[in-house]
Structure 1
Amino acid sequence: MSGWQALADEAARWRDAGRTAELWWRDDDAIDATPSLDRLVTLVRDTQTPLALAVVPAQATPALAARLADEPDVDVLQHGYAHANHAFGSEKKIELGVQRPAMMTLGELATGWMALESLFGPRALAVMVPPWNRIAPVLVPTLPEIGYRGLSTFGPRARVHPVRGLLQVNTHVDLIDWKGGRVFAGEQATLTGLVAALAQARAGGGEPVGLLSHHLAMDAGAWDFLSSLWERMKMLENIRVRPARALFGP
Structure 2
Amino acid sequence: MSRWQALADEDARWGEAGRTATLWWRDDDAVDVSEPLDRLLAIARDTATPLALAVVPARATAALASHLAGEAGVDVLQHGYAHTNHAVAPEKKIEIGLQRPAMLTLGELGTGWMALEQRFGSQALAVMVPPWNRIAPVLVPTLPEIGYRGLSTFGPRPRVHPVRGLLQVNTHVDLIDWKGGRRFAGEETVVDALVASLSRARAGDGEPVGVLSHHLAMDAGAWDFLRSLWEIAKTLENVRVLGARELFGAEVRGQGGRG
Q: TM-score, normalised by structure 1?
A: 0.99
Q: CA RMSD in A?
A: 0.5
Tell me what 1:106 maps to: 106
Q: How far apart are the structure 2 equivalents of 1:45 and 1:88? A: 41
Tell me what 2:129 maps to: 129
Tell me what 1:64 maps to: 64
Instruction: Give, as a single letter, the amino acid of the residue that structure 2 aligns with 1:50.
Output: P
Q: How far apart are the structure 1 equivalents of 2:111 and 2:83? A: 14
* Identity score, percent: 78
The offset of 1:88, in angstroms, is: 1.8
Tell me what 1:212 maps to: 212
Look up the SS of the partner of 1:103 in the other structure. helix
Q: How far apart are the structure 2 equivalents of 1:105 and 1:246? A: 29
1:11-22, aligned counterparts within 5 Å? Answer: 11-22=11-22
Instruction: Give, as a single letter, the amino acid of the residue that structure 2 aligns with 1:157.
Output: R
Tell me what 2:185 maps to: 185
Q: How far apart are the structure 1 equivalents of 2:143 and 2:107? A: 11
The offset of 1:183, in angstroms, is: 0.1
Aligned residues: 250
The offset of 1:30, in angstroms, is: 0.2
Tell me what 1:117 maps to: 117
Question: Deviations for 1:109-165, whole angstroms, at most 9, x for unmatched residues?
Answer: 000001111111011000000000000001000000000000000000000000000
Q: How far apart are the structure 2 equivalents of 1:176 and 1:194? A: 13
Q: How far apart are the structure 2 equivalents of 1:219 and 1:79? A: 22
1:73-152, aligned counterparts within 5 Å? Answer: 73-152=73-152
Q: How far apart are the structure 2 equivalents of 1:156 and 1:173? A: 10
Tell me what 2:158 maps to: 158
Tell me what 1:248 maps to: 248
Look up the SS of the partner of 1:84 in the other structure. coil
Look up the SS of the partner of 2:13 in the other structure. helix
Instruction: Give, as a single letter, the amino acid of the residue that structure 2 aligns with 1:218.
Output: M
The offset of 1:89, in angstroms, is: 2.5
Q: How far apart are the structure 2 equivalents of 1:89 and 1:202? A: 39
The offset of 1:93, in angstroms, is: 0.2
The offset of 1:72, in angstroms, is: 1.2
Q: How far apart are the structure 2 equivalents of 1:158 and 1:2? A: 32
Look up the SS of the partner of 2:58 in the other structure. helix
The offset of 1:180, in angstroms, is: 0.2
Q: How far apart are the structure 2 equivalents of 1:233 and 1:23? A: 9
Look up the SS of the partner of 2:215 in the other structure. coil
> Which segments of 5 or more consecutive residues in structure 2 lack a partner in the other structure?
251-259
Q: TM-score, normalised by structure 2?
A: 0.96
Look up the SS of the partner of 1:228 in the other structure. helix
Q: How far apart are the structure 2 equivalents of 1:125 and 1:163? A: 18
Instruction: Give, as a single letter, the amino acid of the residue that structure 1 aligns with 2:155.
Output: G
Instruction: Give, as a single letter, the amino acid of the residue that structure 1 aligns with 2:80.
Output: G
Look up the SS of the partner of 1:141 in the other structure. helix
Instruction: Give, as a single letter, the amino acid of the residue that structure 2 aligns with 1:110.
Output: G
Tell me what 1:167 maps to: 167
Look up the SS of the partner of 2:143 in the other structure. helix
Do residues 25 (structure 1) and 25 (structure 2) align?
yes
Q: How far apart are the structure 2 equivalents of 1:62 and 1:161? A: 34
Question: Deviations for 1:204-241, whole angstroms, at most 9, x for unmatched residues?
Answer: 00000000000000000000001111111111111100
Q: How far apart are the structure 2 equivalents of 1:225 and 1:196? A: 18
Q: Kindly report structure 1 stretches of 4+ aligned residues shifted beyond 2 Å.
A: none
Instruction: Give, as a single letter, the amino acid of the residue that structure 2 aligns with 1:199.
Output: S
Instruction: Give, as a single letter, the amino acid of the residue that structure 2 aligns with 1:41.
Output: L
Look up the SS of the partner of 2:217 in the other structure. coil
Instruction: Give, as a single letter, the amino acid of the residue that structure 2 aligns with 1:242.
Output: L
Look up the SS of the partner of 2:71 in the other structure. coil
Tell me what 2:9 maps to: 9
Look up the SS of the partner of 2:104 in the other structure. helix
